[in-house]
């Protein structure tokens, strides 16, 4: 695979709605030249059965010929390490945080949920979730609940907007 990292910082600020009704902001991480694919980070608000929106971000591949030809999101750290050079992780996180701001300003969900993909994350890996929590609180979302589930080891957050 010939992969070229080329972070898109000036992403489309209008969220699109995917086939599942999720609100999505995509930005390019780079290009797989051998398979003619764009590697994108998707930042998503996915409505759940309780009408809350789950905040997710993951890596997908997309066809340059058809933006609707997109893979499901991959949330694994192995995929992130494959497509984000270590020296660029802070830059990518900065764009993810900007995309989150654009999404919450556009959608204005009442309730937001968040969970980690991996279990028992170390403190260093939890840094991004603290930054996201700080952003949500800045936009009038109160932290309702936060815990690490003893059964699955994943961390969970629940926020609600004070209107």
Structural domains in the chain (count): 1
Q: Note down the domain range covering 133.
A: 3-161
Helix (H, G, I), strand (E, B) or coil at 77: helix
pLDDT tens sequence across 92-143:
999 999 999 999 999 999 999 999 999 999 888 899 999 999 999 999 999 9
User: Does residue 157 contact residue 146 with C-beta atoms inside 8 Å?
Assistant: yes
123-138 and 89-107 helices cross at what angle (nearest 10)?
Answer: 30
Residue-level pLDDT at 1: 67
Residue-level pLDDT at 18: 85
pLDDT tens sequence across 21-79:
899 999 999 999 899 999 999 999 999 988 899 999 999 999 988 877 899 999 999 99
């Amino acid at each position: 695979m010939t992969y070229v990292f080329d972070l898109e910082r000036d992403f489309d600020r209008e969220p699109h709605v995917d086939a599942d009704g999720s609100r999505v902001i995509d930005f390019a991480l780079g290009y797989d030249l051998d398979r003619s694919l764009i590697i994108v980070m998707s930042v998503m608000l996915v409505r759940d059965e309780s009408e809350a929106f789950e905040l997710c971000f993951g890596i997908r591949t997309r066809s340059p010929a058809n933006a609707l030809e997109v893979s499901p999101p991959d949330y694994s750290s192995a995929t992130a390490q494959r497509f984000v050079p270590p020296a660029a992780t802070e830059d990518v996180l900065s764009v993810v945080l900007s995309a989150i701001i654009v999404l919450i300003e556009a959608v204005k969900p009442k309730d937001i949920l968040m969970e980690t993909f991996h279990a028992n994350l170390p403190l260093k890996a939890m840094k991004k979730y603290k930054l996201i929590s700080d952003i949500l609180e800045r936009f009038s979302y109160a932290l309702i609940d936060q815990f690490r589930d003893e059964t699955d080891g994943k961390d969970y957050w629940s926020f609600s907007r004070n209107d």
